[in-house]
Amino acid sequence: MVTIYDIAAQAGVSAMTVSRVINNTGKISDKTRAKVQRVMDELNYVPNHMARSLVLQQSKLLFLLITDITNPFYTTLARGAEDAAKKSGYRLLFGNSDESSQKEKDYIDTILSTRADGVLIAPASDSSLPHLESLRRHNVPFVLLDREVPGMGSDVVLGDTKEGARKLVDHLISLGHRRIALINGLPTISSARLRLEGFREALKLGDLAYDEQYVLESAFEPKSDLSDIESWLDSMDPAPTAIVAGNNVLAVEVIRTLHARGLRVPDDLSVVGFDDLGPYSEIDPFLTVIAQQAYQFGYLGMQMLIERIEERGAAAQPWRRVVLPAELVVRRSVAKLPE
């Protein structure tokens, strides 16, 4: 690999002069600059970022850690984060924790040892706490996305999840549904807890009793084994007329299971969910959902992160909490029940 020393030797100057040309610092005569520049081009010089970060103690590298790279919510979010990072001259790398606390830990280790300047992270669950503590301890700024972790203060971008759940249930009630079920993420995830809260509140406001048998808590990630959904569907008595799914993955699993049983949505059972299904939603606007501003999650989160990084040393600002609105998008997956 070509180094500044190779350039320096070839151009007949010192390494420091080469460094000055590269970074456009200090004073250099035009003649020297031109000569150095020419040699760099000739030898295809590429700066070694690691050597540079080592001495500068900053990498201009940011990480985005998401929990499911195949989930359109997160990939759209990634686009937003990318755009915001680029605008401020940072490079962005992605990691995918797959909803696994262990994988998340591995990525955090990578991030720490890569000496990233900051991290945008959608935590796997409450058990991410030690990972976040590790980041905090090592003084790596981070911003949480979509989920909070109790016990860890930080900047965070959230969706108005509780309100979203309420809107979904209200919508169902307004169409005559009275037996409404919820398949939710695990209660170790803050957003799942909020969905349940919103769900219960809306029931109460609608004068409907909360019945535990109508609630299933299941992992957010796609699994091959759908038997818990199966048995849950069997167990409810009387059967619900509508199911609220805690996220898009669960919505898909539920609909798949229903289809496998020969049940049609919404004719036999209504289904609503959180977050869009990506391009698919566009060709066949089928599923009624709470749409979240995925791109904004990434964009705003990244802005907040960069502000934190650049204010470093300044008096610490209080944590910021951005809550993005949740919009009900009515499509065709809910039946209107006869009164």
Partner DNA sequence: TAAAAAAATGTTACCGATAACATCAAAGTA
Partner DNA sequence: TACTTTGATGTTATCGGTAACATTTTTTTA
Q: How far apart are CA 295 and CA 162, in angstroms?
A: 20
Q: How far apart are CA 58 and CA 217, in angstroms?
A: 42
* 188 forms part of the interface with a second copy (CB under 8 A): no
Q: How far apart are CA 238 and CA 236, in angstroms?
A: 6
Q: How far apart are CA 52 and CA 266, in angstroms?
A: 59
* 224 forms part of the interface with DNA (CB under 7 A): no
Strand partners for 61: 91
Contacts of 312 (CB under 8 A, 6+ apart): 141
Gyration radius of the chain over CA positions: 25
For DNA, the closer CB: 22 or 175: 22
Site of tokens 């591995």: 106
Site residues (CB under 8 A) for a second copy, limited to 102-131: 109-110, 112-115
| Interface with DNA (CB under 7 A), residue from 56, 69, 205, 330 | 56
* 213 forms part of the interface with DNA (CB under 7 A): no
Helix, strand, coil percentages for the chain (3-state, nearest 5): 45, 15, 35
* 27 forms part of the interface with DNA (CB under 7 A): yes
By CB under 8 A, which span of 22-30, 124-132, 155-163, 281-289 interacts with a second copy?
Answer: 281-289
Q: How far is the CB of 273 from a second copy (least distance, A)?
A: 10
Site residues (CB under 8 A) for a second copy, limited to 240-259: 248-249, 251-252, 255-256, 259
- Provide the token pair at 20: 């000055």
| Interface with DNA (CB under 7 A), residue from 34, 38, 42, 54 | 54
Residue 338 interacting entry, from a second copy, DNA, none, C-beta within 5 to 8 Å by type: none
How many residues of this chain interact with DNA, rule: CB under 7 A? 32
Q: How far apart are CA 275 and CA 257, in angstroms?
A: 19
* 222 forms part of the interface with DNA (CB under 7 A): no
* 72 forms part of the interface with a second copy (CB under 8 A): yes
Q: How far apart are CA 83 and CA 62, in angstroms?
A: 12
Contacts of 121 (CB under 8 A, 6+ apart): 63, 64, 65, 128, 132, 142, 143, 144, 145
Residue 218 interacting entry, from DNA, a second copy, none, C-beta within 5 to 8 Å by type: none
Contacts of 282 (CB under 8 A, 6+ apart): none
Q: How far is the CB of 22 from DNA (least distance, A)?
A: 5
By CB under 8 A, which span of 86-94, 142-150, 233-241, 318-326 interacts with a second copy?
Answer: 86-94
Q: How far apart are CA 288 and CA 330, in angstroms?
A: 5
Instruction: Using CB under 8 A, list all residues that contact a second copy.
Output: 1, 44, 46-51, 53-54, 59, 69-70, 72, 75-76, 78-79, 82, 91, 93-96, 109-110, 112-115, 134, 137-139, 222, 248-249, 251-252, 255-256, 259, 277-284, 286-287
Using CB under 7 A as the criterion, which residues of the chain lie in contact with DNA when the complex forms? 1, 3-5, 12-17, 19-20, 22-23, 25-29, 31-33, 45-48, 51-52, 54-57
